[in-house]
Each structure stands twice: as structure tokens, then as C-alpha cells.
Amino acid sequence: MAESWDKKSILHLVKNKFSGYAFVVVSNRQPYIHKISRGKIECTRGPGGVITALDPIMRELGGLWVCCGSGDADKLAAQNSKVKVPPYKPAYELKYLWLSKEENLGYYYGYSNQGLWPLSHLVFVKPEFNNSDWEIYKRVNKKFAENIYEEIRGKKTIVFVQDYHLALVGKYLKDMDPEIITLNFWHIPWPTYDVFRILPQRQELLEGLLSYDLLGFHIKYFCNNFFEAVSNEVEVKIDEENQLVVHKGHTSLVRGYPISVDFKGIEDSSEEEDVRGFADSLKEEFSLSDYKIIIGLDRIDYTKGIIERLKAIDNLIDRHPELKEKIVFIQMGEISRIHLTKYKHLNDEVNQLVEEVNFKHSQNYWKPIIFLRRHLNFKEVLAFYKIADICVVSSLHDGMNLVAKEFISSRKNDNGILVLSEFTGASRELKDALLVNPYHLEEMSEAIYNALTMDEEEMKKRMRKLRETVRENDIWKWIGSIISDIPQE
């Protein structure tokens, strides 16, 4: 395996190793969403780690991306369900799949997000599995496979499926044509066997995953958990040294590939004029000029430790009242999966806590927390990083966490401090962040205090090392390692 990959060497690899192959990415979430705004169709990049990582790759490699369409103007923007993106520089094609309400409820809200999501994240939210959701999950996975097959029939193709929503797509594709090369990257943690064994459909799910030619996880620990699950549940031969699993005569390579971001792309874009402009208007909009700024950026999800973060800010001001009117914590993030009760409750809890903490500590015109549920486009995200002195990532459990890596990539001047949960995959690489246990309130608030009072030399030293790590382990290394590992007959 080559140690360093960049855009050029990957294009070269694809051309040499896979000349004549079509490349298809598949995910539940769409990379670009069309909405009507002021009577016009507006196209923006979607949220989430899958998009952050794969959009730059697809813009370079081209090809087809198959995903669900959920924007109110997706149907209008697409002809025969297809549209070229991004709108300002079309580089690859999107094919939308339209799901019914029933399919959405059973497959996305039900089996994927009430079942597999809490099962895979150890955050003490009880997973719920019900058989009718599983039936719909399978039906939607099959629908994906059929829609992909329509596009690739008779062509040599690599199909790169993303995540837990689509575990069975590879199996359905192989049933249609065993020559299709299928890969899956599981973007969330894989639980320990003690946890995994409660899943009623565990054997069928594992067999589905074992039909992929390559199966990727963020870190070795998740691969080991997966090996333990298959060795307990399915008849397999495991070659741990080469990380191969043989099931019913088919071999899957199972490896850890720590996902990352487009370091250089983010670094360059962060210096652009419009990003500076957005940063200035953010500061103006919220009157932030006189404060040290602490930021958080997440989908509103119970795995992200948002409540813990807010409590840490409360505790910080309790212990250091001298910080009043000196700091502001600003949290941005999109509402997520709001039709599920757990998410509704989380949103209510967040509202209540923000209200309480602000009421308790506010003085004059100042309040410690600004909480906004707002979609930020890519440039606005970079502007948000730009205004920050400190970025807090306090996930209770997270496969990787790309906010941490994006923040680092955007800090060209080596300023800024990352406070990072030790329960993120990213913490295994980003040792120069201030690592915290988000369940330990005082530890979190102390880490934020340390960040606020850290001397410039140490801050820069830490950020330089963090940047070196992300620079060397960027998204091109991730995709390069995967492509170079693709088994070929």
C-alpha cells in the first residue's frame, strides 16, 4: 500500500488499475439538495460526514452518485431523476431515488435510526427493532440495488456503498451480477459483540455485509468487534493477519481506514474573500467582536454530547465568574431526525437548558450561549470556524468526527484550540487536542478553561502538530488506501 496519496496519484491509480470501470457512490443522504427559495431553485451541499468526505472525491473522479431525493425541488431540478452537481462547476451526476412515506418511516427513521444507530453508538439509548421496519429496510435496499443496476448493466463497475442504511445493497447487486466490485464503508462505530448480539436480524445483516468485496471501518477496534460478531454468528473462516473473512466461498477484505477531510481544499477555501465576509457578518450579526468565542457545530443528535457541552459552559462560569462578558459559546447545527421521539425530547431539553443557563448568568446585554438551528453551506461553515478561538467536540461516541478535522484544516495561522472527546475515532489520531471525557462535567469545563488561558506558544505548537497529522492523513489518503486495496480477480 502506498503511504501517501494525493489527487494526482489517485487519478493515476484509478486510470491504471481500473481503466474502463465506472465508479458509483451510493448513500442514503444526498450530497446536494434543491429547495425553493424566493421563487427560485437553490442547490446547497447536504450535512454529515459522508458528504464532507466524499463530495471532494467525486468532484475529482467524476461518476455517478445514487441517493435519496428529499428536497422540495429535487424533482424539479432533476431530469429523469438525474442532475449534474455541484451547480457552479458540474463534475459528477446525481441519481435520485424517491421513497414513499412508508418506506422513509420503516427504512430511515425505523430500522436505520431507531435500531442500527443507537445499537452502534454506546450512549445508553435503547435500540428498537421491529420486523416490519426490517422488511421495509430490505425492500428499500433492493430498490437501491435495482436503480444502480439499471445504470451499470453490462459495464465493469465499482460500487462504493456508504453506511448502515444500505448494508444489503452489495448482496442484491452480487445476486444480479457477481462481477460487480462492491465496497461498503461503515461510517459509524461497530459495537462490541455483547451489544451487537441483541439485534434480532444479526445473521442476515452480517451475511449481507459479508457479500461486499471490501468492508471498511474507521479504526481497527471496530474491525475487531466485527470479527468477533461474525465468528460468533456465521460460519466463516477468518484470516486475521490479512484481515480477510471467507463466507460461502466469497472473500471480504475488512480493514480500518480512518476517514478524513480535504485538508488543502479547506485550507485554501478558508482564505477566500467571501469566507472572510461571512465571518465578519457572523460577528456583526451576533455582536461577537469583544469576546473569546467558543464554538460547537453538530447535527442535533443525542450522540454528540450537546447537553454535556452546555452543562460544561454553565459549570465553567459557575467556577470562573470573571469570564462573564468575556466569552460566548455559540452552537450551530441542523435539526435532525425530528420525527423520532428521542430527537424531539433532545431538542426540548436543549431549549430548556440554554434558557436556564442564559437566565442564570446573563448580565447587561451579555448572555453566555447562542444556540442556532441553522443550515450552513460549506463557505459559511468555514467562516464559523474562522471566528472561533476554541472548538468543542464532545461526542459521547462517534465513529470519527470530521468537524474536528475540518476545524484543524481551516487554521492556516496555527491559532485555535480543539477540545475533543476521547470517545471519537478522531481522538486516536489527534493527540494534541485537549482530550476530555464528556461524561465528566468538571473535566470538560476545566479543559475549556485551560483552552481559554493557554499561552500562545503552546497553542500554536499543538495546532501545528494537529495540522501536520491531518495534512498527512487527509481524504486522499483514505480513498487512495481503499482504492489500492480493492481486490481484483
Strands 250-256 vs 244-247: parallel, antiparallel or unpaired: antiparallel
Task: Tell me if 396 sits within 8 A of 121, measured CB to CB.
Answer: yes
Least CB distance to ligand F6P at residue 161 (A): 11
Least CB distance to ligand F6P at residue 165 (A): 7
Task: Tell me if 10 sits within 8 A of 477, measured CB to CB.
Answer: no
Evaluate the CA torsion angle 465, 471, 473, 474 in order and state its sign: positive
Q: Decide whether 44 or 336 has the Cβ nearer to ligand F6P.
A: 336
Measured CA to CA, the distance from residue 346 to residue 205 in angstroms comes to 29
Task: Tell me if 26 sits within 8 A of 65, measured CB to CB.
Answer: yes
Least CB distance to ligand F6P at residue 398 (A): 9
Question: Which of 186, 228, 191, 232 has the alpha carbon at shortest distance from 209?
Answer: 186
Q: Decide whether 51 or 158 has the Cβ nearer to ligand F6P.
A: 51
Q: Decide whether 48 or 368 has the Cβ nearer to ligand F6P.
A: 48
Measured CA to CA, the distance from residue 433 to residue 427 in angstroms comes to 8
Question: Which of 234, 239, 227 has the alpha carbon at shortest distance from 192?
Answer: 227
Q: Decide whether 390 or 475 has the Cβ nearer to ligand F6P.
A: 475
Least CB distance to ligand F6P at residue 48 (A): 3
Measured CA to CA, the distance from residue 271 to residue 78 in angstroms comes to 33
Return residues touching ligand F6P (CB under 6 A).
29, 48-50, 163, 187-188, 299, 336-337
Q: Decide whether 264 or 299 has the Cβ nearer to ligand F6P.
A: 299
Least CB distance to ligand F6P at residue 323 (A): 33
The torsion angles phi and psi of 250, rounded to 5 degrees, stand at -105, 135
DSSP letters along 138-159, please?
Answer: HHHHHHHHHHHHHHHTTS-EEE
Least CB distance to ligand F6P at residue 162 (A): 6
Q: Which residues pair with 96 in a beta bridge?
A: 67
Q: Decide whether 57 or 293 has the Cβ nearer to ligand F6P.
A: 57
Least CB distance to ligand F6P at residue 306 (A): 15
Task: Tell me if 225 sits within 8 A of 195, measured CB to CB.
Answer: no
Least CB distance to ligand F6P at residue 337 (A): 6
Angle at 412 between CA 407 and CA 416, to 5 degrees: 50
Q: Decide whether 49 or 115 has the Cβ nearer to ligand F6P.
A: 49
Q: What is the chain's alpha carbon radius of gyration, rounded to the nearest angstrom?
A: 22
